[in-house]
Amino acid sequence: MTSLRKPVEALSAGHPTYSQTFPCKPSTAELGRELVRDILGVWHLGGLADRAELIITELIANASRHTPCPEIRLTVGRPSATRLRVGVVDREPSRLPILSQAADGDDESGRGLLLVDAVADRWGYDLHGSDRRPWGKEVWAELRTEGSK
């Protein structure tokens, strides 16, 4: 029997993914960072936490700024033994992410995906639903896990 007061070591079984739904607003970024840090701690990937937190913060900011969705789903997963993936799912498949190269030094926005592109090993988006009528999209970024312990 496992006590709820005693921490339990997480076992690696397959390629786990964790997801949770939150309000689509800028303040969700703090909850997203906590979620990412906690999960990476359980998975012994704390060396990736700073980069993963920056990525999830930017993805949440983009979703809250560019979609009218009332809620988003944050995902943290291990698509393979050597990759970590963080993402944000929203219900606006027509509003796809665009990597902007035009942000000036005085601009207060427009750099989020540039930051993601700079710190992630790769990033992109996946549409959800049928090809004819997707219901949403996930914008994601991946980090390699080798040597991150």
User: Would you state the pLDDT for residue 105?
Assistant: 54
25-52 pLDDT tens trace: 999 999 999 999 999 999 999 999 999 9
4-33 pLDDT tens trace: 343 334 444 467 899 999 999 999 999 999
45-68 pLDDT tens trace: 999 999 999 999 999 999 999 999
For residue 132, pLDDT beyond 90: no
User: Would you state the pLDDT for residue 78?
Assistant: 95
- Contacts of residue 148, Cβ cutoff 8 Å, sequence gap at least 6: 45, 46, 47, 48
User: Would you state the pLDDT for residue 14?
Assistant: 64
The separation between the first and the last C-alpha atoms of the chain, rounded to the nearest angstrom, is: 30
Round to whole Å and give the CA distance between 81 and 16: 10
Mean pLDDT, residues 101-129:
80
pLDDT > 90 fraction of the chain, expressed in percent and rounded: 70
108 vs 54, higher pLDDT: 54
Q: Of 19, 37, 15, give the one whose Cα is nearest residue 82.
A: 15
Round to whole Å and give the CA distance between 34 and 37: 5
What global pTM score does this model have? 0.83
Round to whole Å and give the CA distance between 10 and 140: 24
User: Would you state the pLDDT for residue 11?
Assistant: 43
Provide the mean pLDDT of the chain.
86
User: Would you state the pLDDT for residue 18?
Assistant: 94
| Residue 30 CB neighbour total at 10 angstroms | 11
Round to whole Å and give the CA distance between 63 and 69: 8
Confidence of residue 143 (pLDDT cuts 50, 70, 90): very high
